[in-house]
């Protein structure tokens, strides 16, 4: 284990929440050095790295319109390209996809066929790129979306990504702000199951969520809300208050969760992600509503130990593969 160096490249906000110094202390006790990467400085001078744990969401999103962020992202990608033996947690292309809800929902929809035998699905949805009411209504009809509809921004990162709305009738479609996703709302007993994945391990944590609403169009003004405020552990909102007569839904089965995580890991090629699932009150189908990049892991016991164990196993596998490659490439003397 001696001499292994792990780079951590996250935003200042993530660095504080994650407590990187505590992670570094634990890693040091197992012979792994943790280096906090500063993207504003040349990475070559900060390396070498055996593995890099990163969450570049801010940089990727801002690179769409900010030249400085474009340069930071270019510097990171250039370093990674120049050092192919450095392991990345997780692959940049997939992380970029998951920051775009259009791409993210396409991935989830694709998985539906594989997961259907385990009664796992995702709600029908439509990608909206226009403010034209007639075209939005046409998209809703074409995809057979049912009211109420939940409206989410296309960008799945940053404070604005948590700003959502519940639309109850065709007239409410005037509140749509493209580009966005419109998705049929599924009644789920005001309980959200957040699945946190760390390598081959996963943990499920219950959070508050939106209460049930009558299905079908009805006369109600659009509700605007912040998903962050609704689904935090300490959240208390009139939007999450259930009728006490409502029976509690069964928790998702372990078998279904294991299957879901296995398929997602295979599809994404990622080790650090979260998936938000709910249980449909009508048929108890497990319903995927979002995938999250490198989440906060609040409520996951011993996260740093789990992360370090995964890092060690990845580096061990990488080292074994490298040794085998070297042996294979060694010329045989005649």
pLDDT in tens, the chain (334 residues): 457 999 999 998 898 888 999 999 999 999 999 999 999 999 999 999 999 999 999 999 999 999 999 999 999 999 999 999 999 999 999 999 999 999 999 999 988 888 877 788 999 999 999 999 999 999 999 999 999 999 999 999 887 899 999 999 999 999 999 999 999 999 999 999 999 999 999 999 999 999 999 999 999 999 999 998 888 777 667 888 776 666 778 888 889 999 999 999 999 999 999 999 999 999 999 999 999 999 999 999 999 999 999 999 999 998 877 666 555 555 555 4
Please report the pLDDT score of residue 322 as a whole number.
67
Rounded Cα gap, residues 273 and 250, in angstroms: 24
The first and second tokens of residue 311, run together, are 């890092």
Please report the pLDDT score of residue 1 as a whole number.
41
Cβ(170)–Cβ(71) below 8 Å? no
Rg (CA), the chain: 22
H/E stretch holding 6: strand 4-9
Whole-model pTM?
0.91
The residues spanned by each domain of the chain are 4-90+300-324, 97-293
Common-topology check for domains 4-90+300-324 and 97-293? no
| Fold adopted by 97-293 | D-amino Acid Aminotransferase; Chain A, domain 1 (3.30.470)
Please report the pLDDT score of residue 244 as a whole number.
64
Please report the pLDDT score of residue 245 as a whole number.
63
Cβ(253)–Cβ(259) below 8 Å? no
Q: How far is CA 136 from CA 161, 166, 171, 307, in A?
A: 20, 15, 11, 44
| Fold adopted by 4-90+300-324 | Rossmann fold (3.40.50)
Please report the pLDDT score of residue 334 as a whole number.
44
Supply the DSSP string of 30-45, one letter for each residue.
TTEEEEE--TTS-HHH
């Amino acid at each position: 284990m001696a001499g292994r160096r792990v780079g951590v490249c996250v935003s200042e906000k993530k660095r504080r929440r994650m407590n990187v110094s505590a992670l570094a202390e634990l890693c040091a006790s197992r012979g792994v050095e943790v280096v906090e990467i500063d993207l504003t400085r040349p990475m070559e001078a900060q390396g070498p790295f055996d593995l890099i744990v990163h969450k570049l969401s801010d940089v990727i999103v801002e690179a769409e319109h900010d030249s400085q962020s474009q340069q930071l992202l270019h510097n990171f990608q250039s370093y990674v390209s120049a050092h192919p033996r450095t392991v990345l947690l997780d692959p940049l292309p997939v992380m970029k996809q998951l920051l775009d809800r259009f791409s993210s929902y396409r991935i989830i929809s694709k998985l539906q066929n594989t997961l259907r035998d385990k009664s796992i699905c995702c709600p029908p949805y439509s990608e909206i790129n226009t403010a034209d009411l007639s075209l939005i209504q046409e998209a809703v009809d074409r995809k057979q979306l049912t009211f109420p509809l939940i409206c989410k921004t296309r960008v799945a990162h940053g404070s604005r990504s948590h700003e959502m709305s519940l639309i109850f009738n065709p007239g409410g479609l005037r509140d749509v702000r493209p580009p966005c996703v419109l998705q049929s709302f599924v009644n789920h007993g005001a309980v959200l199951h957040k699945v946190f994945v760390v390598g081959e391990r996963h943990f499920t944590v219950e959070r508050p969520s939106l209460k049930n609403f009558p299905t079908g169009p009805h006369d109600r003004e659009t509700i605007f809300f912040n998903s962050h405020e609704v689904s935090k552990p300490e959240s208390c909102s009139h939007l999450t208050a259930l009728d006490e007569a409502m029976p509690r839904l069964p928790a998702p089965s372990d078998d279904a969760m294991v299957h879901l995580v296995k398929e997602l890991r295979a599809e994404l090629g990622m080790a650090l992600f979260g998936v938000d699932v709910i249980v449909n009150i009508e048929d108890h189908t497990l319903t995927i509503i979002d995938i999250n990049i490198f989440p906060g892991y609040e409520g996951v016991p011993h996260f740093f130990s789990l992360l370090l164990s995964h890092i060690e196993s990845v580096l061990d596998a990488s080292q074994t593969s490298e040794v085998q490659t070297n042996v294979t490439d060694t010329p045989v003397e005649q």
